Amino acid sequence: MRFLKLLLVVGILGAAAWWWFVLAPFGPSGETFVEIAPGTGTVGIAKELQQAGVVRSALAFEAMKEWQQGSLKAGEYRFDHAVPLGEVYARLRKGDVYTKTVVIPEGFNIFDIAQAVGAAGLGSSAGFLAAERANTALISKWSPAATSLEGYLFPDTYKFSRHATPVQMLSAMVKRFGQEAALVGLGNGDVARTVTMASLVEKEVALPAERPEVASVFENRLAAGMMLQTDPTVIYASLMNGTWTGVIHQSELHSDSAYNTYTHVGMPPGPICNPGVAALKAALKPAQTEYLYFVAGTDGSTKFAKTLGEHNGNVTAYRAGAR
């Protein structure tokens, strides 16, 4: 009988210990970060978690590892409230590391991206811009003469460690470009010209189905020796000069910037934004048309024209509809 009572006491104490070390929530009341370096063993991880006040007992965490098995992922983890030991273990097994998100839509230029990086708390916009101009070697195989990474920072949703450097972020974006470039067959021919053309298309039209036709207008104008006369290049020239106010002025239409396609025949010296897949495909394979002009329609679509007279009619109709 005494032995049974002893077993009961031991069982109760064991259950209490199990609840205390494993099931009872424990952890910091405020934001706490724990960095697990690659190659750190279970004992080292358990000690770091205990020292940071994330788990009550390093030994209990080690026991959890023996019981649950599975590998624990390196990285930085954020904890801000008390949780059971099993939840901490599950997060490390899953690799639920702390990251900051940067969303880059199609058509964002380097200035937009730098602002997004700054807004995400990943460093200053100025530092990001300086890094993208200083690391053009990242795209040397596509554009050896590039003075900027513009055009090659692929639009996507990125998750970065809060310690990520500008070069690490830029490298990730360029890597994504390389992956997509290979998928669309961008490795053949003049990649730099194709990306520049895609950036013009990206900025001029919102509907993916119309992009091949817009690309055809630009190609037809180039073949005819006509100026491209596309407003986004004027805006980009002003952004480069730091003089963009949100409205195109007559002085900007007459600026001598190499990006100004109202004063210079041919393509601008480089991309004016970072195009997505649809624009890249359109630049690679423009529609076969005789169009030389286009203007936005009042219904959101684009109106194309073969002659200046037809184009002027489209412009007049647009202005009338806008009023």
Secondary structure element (H or E) that encloses residue 169, with its range: helix 166-184
Over residues 75-94, the pLDDT tens digits come to: 999 999 999 999 999 999 99
Tell me 160's DSSP state.
Answer: E
pLDDT computed for residue 31 by the predictor: 92
**In the predicted model, is pLDDT for residue 10 greater than 60?**
no
For position 319, what pLDDT does the model report? 75
- Return the C-alpha torsion angle 168, 172, 178, 179, nearest 10: 150
CA 294-298-299 angle, to 5 degrees, is 100
Instruction: Tell me: pLDDT of 19 over 70.
Output: no
32 has a pLDDT exceeding 90: yes
Give the model's confidence band at 70: pLDDT under 50 very low, under 70 low, under 90 confident, else very high: confident
- CATH class of residue range 19-94: alpha beta
What band does 26 get if pLDDT is binned at 50, 70 and 90? confident
Scan for tokens 């077993």, then name that residue: 7
- What counts of helices (H) and strands (E) characterise the chain? 13, 6
Model confidence pLDDT, tens digit, residues 204-256: 987 889 999 999 999 999 999 999 999 999 999 999 999 999 899 999 999 99
Q: Phi first, then psi: what are they for 293, rounded to 5°?
A: -140, 155
pLDDT value for 86: 92
Q: Which of 138, 157, 43 is nearest to 99 (CA)?
A: 157
**pLDDT the model gives residue 234:** 96
* pLDDT exceeds 80 at position 281: yes
pLDDT at 1 over 70: no
Query: Which residue, 36, 240, 262, 39, is CA-closest to 129?
Result: 240
Q: Angle formed by the axes of helices 125-134 and 166-184, to 10°?
A: 60
Cβ neighbours, 10 Å, residue 254: 11
Q: How does the average pLDDT of the chain come out, rounded? A: 90
Say if residues 77 and 89 touch (Cβ distance below 8 Å). no
Task: Give residue 301's pLDDT.
Answer: 83
Q: How far apart are CA 188 and CA 83, in angstroms?
A: 54
Mean pLDDT over 269-284 rounds to: 97
- How far is the C-alpha of 152 from the C-alpha of 189, rounded, in Å? 16
How deeply is 236 buried, as exposed, middle or buried, from its count of CB atoms within 10 A (0-12, 13-18, 19+)? Answer: buried
Q: Tens digit of pLDDT for each residue in 140-173?
A: 999 999 999 999 999 999 999 999 999 999 999 9
Model pLDDT, residue 55? 95
Mean pLDDT of all residues in 109-133 = 97
Domain ranges of the chain: 19-94, 100-184, 205-322
pTM (2 d.p.): 0.86
Between 11 and 38, name the one with better pLDDT: 38
Percentage of the chain exceeding pLDDT 90: 77
Give yes or no for residue 47 having a pLDDT over 60: yes
State the Cα–Cα distance between residues 55 and 78, nearest whole angstrom: 13
